[in-house]
């Protein structure tokens, strides 16, 4: 079963313009030094009128940094695809982005965890994305994404206690999930995560498909971080 179709399938021209500006601004950004500047934001992230927006942590060296598509190709990307299927969601129907739009690398060019300063630096881009993609359901994948969203607008959701729970947030439904990486099973077992994703599918099917009203004001193009 697919996510419920919206009665309103049109994308506002102002959103298209704002997204084009956002993508341009992201591509010009070199604010973080210890990054492979992959700048993974563009049409391949998904539909601007998606009803579900996923926010993961950062672009992966073997995934989005190669394909230009978040959560693709590498193991996390493959697991994400499997989890989407469990939730009965189609990739074509969702928008996927990261709290960090580039690939954090260490001195040996391996993936590393982003610093708090890097997440904060990239946050204005996430905020602008949220203002353009009016998805009624926002799903954070992992603690970094959940905390970055909290810094944009306060919520009281915590990963360990509120995983796969629908939390009201800015007129939307926020659902915290664990990141689809294999390492996350050290913190939450695979079978629990599979249950979480099935629960997400139920939440999405029960959620209102109306776009949130308070986010429909004209898009403000924020300054670069």
Q: Which residues bind ligand SF4 (CB under 6 A)?
A: 26, 29-32, 35, 37, 39, 100-102, 118, 121-122, 125, 225
Residue whose CB is less far from ligand SF4, 55 or 204: 55
Identify the residue whose tokens are 């591509």.
27
Residue whose CB is less far from ligand SF4, 30 or 168: 30
Least gap, CB of 125 to ligand SF4 (angstroms): 6
Phi-psi region of 163 (alpha: psi -120 to 50; beta: other; left: phi over 0): beta
Least gap, CB of 29 to ligand SF4 (angstroms): 3
Residue whose CB is less far from ligand SF4, 49 or 118: 118
Least gap, CB of 24 to ligand SF4 (angstroms): 12
Phi-psi region of 187 (alpha: psi -120 to 50; beta: other; left: phi over 0): alpha
> How many CA atoms lie less than 13 Å away from 82 in the CB half-sphere?
16
Are 16 and 48 within 8 A, CB to CB?
yes
Least gap, CB of 171 to ligand SF4 (angstroms): 26
CA nearest to 122, candidates 56, 175, 62: 56
Residue whose CB is less far from ligand SF4, 40 or 50: 40
- 223 Cβ contact list (under 8 Å, min separation 6): 124
């Amino acid at each position: 079963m697919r996510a419920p179709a919206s009665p309103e399938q049109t994308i506002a021209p102002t959103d298209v313009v704002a997204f084009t500006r956002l993508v341009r601004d992201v591509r010009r950004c070199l604010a973080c030094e210890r990054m492979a500047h992959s700048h993974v934001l563009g049409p391949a992230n998904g539909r601007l009128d998606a009803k579900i927006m996923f926010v993961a942590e950062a672009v992966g060296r073997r995934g989005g940094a190669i394909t230009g598509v978040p959560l693709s190709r590498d193991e996390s990307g493959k697991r994400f695809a499997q989890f989407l299927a469990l939730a009965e969601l189609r990739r074509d129907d969702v928008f996927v982005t990261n709290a960090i739009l580039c690939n954090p690398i260490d001195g040996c060019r391996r993936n590393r965890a982003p610093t708090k300063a890097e997440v904060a630096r990239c946050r204005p881009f996430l905020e602008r994305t949220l203002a353009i993609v009016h998805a009624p359901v926002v799903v954070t994948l992992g603690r970094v994404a959940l905390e970055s969203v909290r810094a944009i607008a306060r919520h009281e959701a915590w990963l360990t206690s509120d995983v796969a729970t629908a939390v009201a947030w800015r007129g939307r439904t926020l659902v915290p999930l664990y990141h689809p990486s294999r390492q996350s099973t050290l913190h939450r077992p695979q079978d629990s995560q599979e249950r979480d994703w099935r629960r997400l599918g139920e939440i999405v099917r029960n959620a209102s498909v109306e776009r949130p009203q308070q986010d429909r004001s004209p898009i403000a193009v924020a300054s670069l971080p």
